[in-house]
Amino acid sequence: MAMTAPELHLKKSVAQKLNRPITIGRVAHLTKPQPWHTALGRATCQFRNRCSRGCPFGAYFSSLAATIPAARQTNRLTIVHNAIVKEILLDSQGQKAKGVRVIDQNTMEVREFYAKVIFLNAGTIGSTSILMNSKSARFPNGLGNDSDQLGRNLMDHHLSVGARADIEGFEDDYYFGARPNALYIPRFRNWGNDKRGYLRGFGYQGGASRADWSRGQLKRDSALILKQK
Ligand code: SF4
């Protein structure tokens, strides 16, 4: 996905002045679908930035758009509905996952399913709680929780922590659509010779685009905040 003109200007300035790279964000949207994508019914992203409502084009990667249709095409897929995974079952030695125990959300019936390979893809909180529920003699504190870190130190995005401004210039530049993506500055702190007093680091996301109808409201809100101060 392309950067806008002010973003390219920022990229150049940040490289020159701060020696930091700026890239386009890393998203899993199709900009050039390949035959194996269209075979699954997926199409090019329409650049309308409405991904949070679900994508009727299957343009961003999701299990609903990509992996489940691919699995269905093998004719060896069985989808079990209303089944809430309670825990992962271990083999008799208590070393290896061999299945899952599920509870039917309507009837409360408990069933077990077995497989050679099990993927746990329930999201940060869901996967963690399932692992913590999966207790055994080998893992009395939850599956894979020898470190006792399961359920601790969960990390989320800080959202809207930063700054915004109007940019002058670039009036003759325009771009196509509403790009469903942002800029990314990977590893801004604790990178190269920049060593701080904490482990690891953080990146930044951001972007520059034309203002829309809400610009008047933003200016009004900013003026109110300044007045209150
Ligand atoms: S912007 Fe998002 S919702 Fe719209 S087509 Fe692209 S991926 Fe789908």
Q: Does some domain include residue 128?
A: yes
Q: Does some domain include residue 87?
A: yes
Residue nearest to atom 8 of ligand 1 (CA): 55
Mutate which of 31, 44, 51 for ligand 1? The one with the most ligand atoms within 8 Å of its CB, which is 51
Mutate which of 1, 27, 29 for ligand 1? The one with the most ligand atoms within 8 Å of its CB, which is 29
Task: Tell me: do 229 and 193 sit in the same domain.
Answer: yes
Task: Tell me: do 88 and 136 sit in the same domain.
Answer: yes
Tell me, what's the pLDDT at 227? 65
Atom of ligand 1 nearest to the CA of 180: 1
Identify which of 209, 189, 207, 208 has the alpha carbon closest to the alpha carbon of residue 199. Answer: 189
Task: Tell me: do 139 and 86 sit in the same domain.
Answer: yes
Block means of pLDDT (10 residues each) for the chain, length 229 residues? 96 94 95 96 96 95 94 94 95 89 97 94 92 93 94 80 87 93 90 83 90 75 63
Tell me, what's the pLDDT at 229? 58
Distance from the alpha carbon of residue 30 to the mean position of ligand 1, in angstroms: 9
Residues in the chain, total: 229
Q: Does some domain include residue 20?
A: yes
Tell me, what's the pLDDT at 28? 94
Q: Which domain holds residue 224?
A: 1-26+181-229
Residue nearest to atom 6 of ligand 1 (CA): 45
Number of domains present in the structure of the chain: 3
Binding-site residues, ligand 1, Cβ < 6 A: 29, 45-51, 55, 57, 59-60, 180
Among 16, 50, 77, the domain boundary falls at 77
Q: Which long-range contacts (CB under 8 A, 24 or more apart) does 201-206 make?
A: 204/162, 205/25, 206/162, 206/182
Tell me, what's the pLDDT at 69? 96
Q: Does some domain include residue 192?
A: yes
Task: Tell me: do 73 and 9 sit in the same domain.
Answer: no
Q: Does some domain include residue 161?
A: no
Task: Tell me: do 43 and 4 sit in the same domain.
Answer: no
Mutate which of 31, 32, 60 for ligand 1? The one with the most ligand atoms within 8 Å of its CB, which is 60
Q: What burial letters (b/e) apply to 38-55, b meaning 16+ CB within 10 Å?
A: eebebbebebeeeeeeeb
Q: Does some domain include residue 162?
A: no
Q: Does some domain include residue 220?
A: yes
Task: Tell me: do 89 and 64 sit in the same domain.
Answer: no
Residue nearest to atom 2 of ligand 1 (CA): 51
Atom of ligand 1 nearest to the CA of 29: 7
Task: Tell me: do 49 and 73 sit in the same domain.
Answer: yes
Task: Tell me: do 9 and 71 sit in the same domain.
Answer: no
